[in-house]
Amino acid sequence: MNAITNHLPTAELQALDAAHHMHPFTANAELADKGARVITRASGITLTDSEGNEILDAMAGLWCVNIGYGRDELADVAARQMRELPYYNTFFMTTHAPVIALAAKIAELAPGDLNHVFFAGSGSEANDTNIRMVRHYWAEKGKPTKSVIISRNNAYHGSSVGSGSLGGMSGMHAQGGLPIPDIHHIEQPHWWAEGGDMDPEEFGLLRAQELEKAILELGEERVAAFIAEPVQGAGGVIVPPASYWPEIQRICDKYEILLIADEVICGFGRTGNWFGCQTMGIRPDIMTIAKGLSSGYAPIGGSVVSDDVAAVIGAGEFNHGYTYSGHPVAAAVALENLRILEEEGIVDHVRDVAAPYLKEKWEALTDHPLVGEAKIVGMMGSIALVPNKDSRAPFAEAGTAGFICRERCFANNLVMRHVGDRMIISPPLVITPAEIDMLISRARKALDECYAELQKRDLLSAG
């Protein structure tokens, strides 16, 4: 018997983990010394660890558990589908009911004429699909030189060779020979860190116009697409100034550049609409989806494309696909997740109840001596930790305050992530006002403890 031995003592689990399991985005040697926290179960917005601690998960796993943990309906659907048809592919003129139903449902929910879905196993895979699809699209239209995809510094689009190249994370580009050719990065609309003395709206416009500058420099005949998250997630929940997206849309229209909205985080209710592009008022040609598509209960992602893109790509054979494209169990789970999101009015709950309540409490955090700005859209928010609110100057020792704050959160049974000295949240969409109160009070306690520690270690100076 090879049971999953959750009930081994924590120390033994940690030792086995350290011996055999390589953690993603982790300094594994350092983790091995500390020991990983073992999560054993979860329900609603609460995780339980192997020591019995109950932790409020203000990150919804990795931005994905939109409907919350512990929904039996999804487990039941998965078990039923596994018994009926655990696997079949859709490569060779075959299909199956779960993938058909899911594609049709996504087409119904997606705005405009985004009516066609190419499935993948994850957001990274879907963005790899997008790279090949937009280049192939222009080749099929007789413009094979249009191969450059413009993206942004500090964007996150996944961790494979292609999607990691699209992303603008310098730490990722430094390892493994990224980026691939013909990916071009422009600056991000991050006013707090990079806006200097400019007015935020003026700055947003300027950063959008970098796209036009890049198109003109590269040559319109070289540019295939622009890709961006409606709200940057892993980069630190960077909410662009209101002037930014309308200008980007104008530029994409003017030069006939395909617009790819990476909705992997923003999609499925996170911003208070079904998709982030609706919140930002833009009309993408392609949307990348994953994460909230299944609330993380099964690995699945995809590219949702317009009638035009689907017609051009579909005119001949597109030599591309994954063994698990449209996996029947993942598709059935995603479909059930969408049913719950829709029938339980969870997107309405975000827009009308949870987001307004959270916004009020979140923005009030700026009364704390450590918090310079608080930004929030729907159920994704960030606060900037600063030594001096007026100058917006960063800490002399960048990243330490954020790290300490995250440690203090964890010690107070709250999962809040840090990106440098920005603290970010992305809780399950089903969070209630009472649970938001709990989130905020734990966050305040962690901020107080972080502040005390910074004072003690004399780290409260600006760089």
Interacting residues toward ligand PLP by CB under 6 A? 63, 122-124, 127, 156-158, 229, 233-234, 262, 264-265, 290-291, 301
Identify the burial level of 203 via C-beta atoms within 10 angstroms of its C-beta, where 0-12 means exposed, 13-18 middle and 19 or more buried. Answer: buried
Name the minimum Å distance from CB 47 to ligand PLP: 19
Nearer to ligand PLP, 282 or 440 (CB): 282
Distance CA 103, CA 295 (A): 17
CA 295 to chain centre: 12
Nearer to ligand PLP, 238 or 438 (CB): 238
- Cβ-contact 237, 270 below 8 angstroms: no
DSSP, collapsed to helix, strand or coil, labels residue 55 as strand
Respond yes or no on whether the N-terminal peptide bond of residue 179 is cis (omega within 30° of 0): yes
Nearer to ligand PLP, 284 or 372 (CB): 284
Nearer to ligand PLP, 120 or 430 (CB): 120
Dump strand ranges (E) for 156-290: 183-186, 223-228, 258-262, 286-289
Nearer to ligand PLP, 223 or 265 (CB): 265
- Which residue type is seen at 315? A
Name the minimum Å distance from CB 438 to ligand PLP: 26
Q: Residue with structure tokens 């983790």?
A: 31
301: Cβ contacts below 8 Å, ≥ 6 apart: 119, 120, 121, 122, 123, 124, 125, 126, 264, 288, 289, 290, 291, 293
Name the minimum Å distance from CB 217 to ligand PLP: 26
Q: Residue with structure tokens 């649970």?
A: 435
Nearer to ligand PLP, 57 or 229 (CB): 229
Name the minimum Å distance from CB 122 to ligand PLP: 3
Nearest-CB residue for ligand PLP: 123
Name the minimum Å distance from CB 292 to ligand PLP: 10
- Cβ-contact 383, 460 below 8 angstroms: no
Nearer to ligand PLP, 247 or 262 (CB): 262
Name the minimum Å distance from CB 125 to ligand PLP: 7
12: Cβ contacts below 8 Å, ≥ 6 apart: none
Distance CA 321, CA 75 (A): 27
Nearer to ligand PLP, 24 or 316 (CB): 24
Q: Are strands 417-419 and 422-425 parallel, antiparallel or unpaired?
A: antiparallel
Nearer to ligand PLP, 322 or 451 (CB): 322
**Local structure of residue 190 (DSSP, 8 states):** -
Name the minimum Å distance from CB 416 to ligand PLP: 17
Q: Residue with structure tokens 């494979």?
A: 160
Distance CA 282, CA 278 (A): 6
Name the minimum Å distance from CB 198 to ligand PLP: 26
Name the minimum Å distance from CB 460 to ligand PLP: 32
Name the minimum Å distance from CB 167 to ligand PLP: 8
- Cβ-contact 125, 303 below 8 angstroms: no
Nearer to ligand PLP, 238 or 312 (CB): 238
Distance CA 7, CA 321 (A): 40
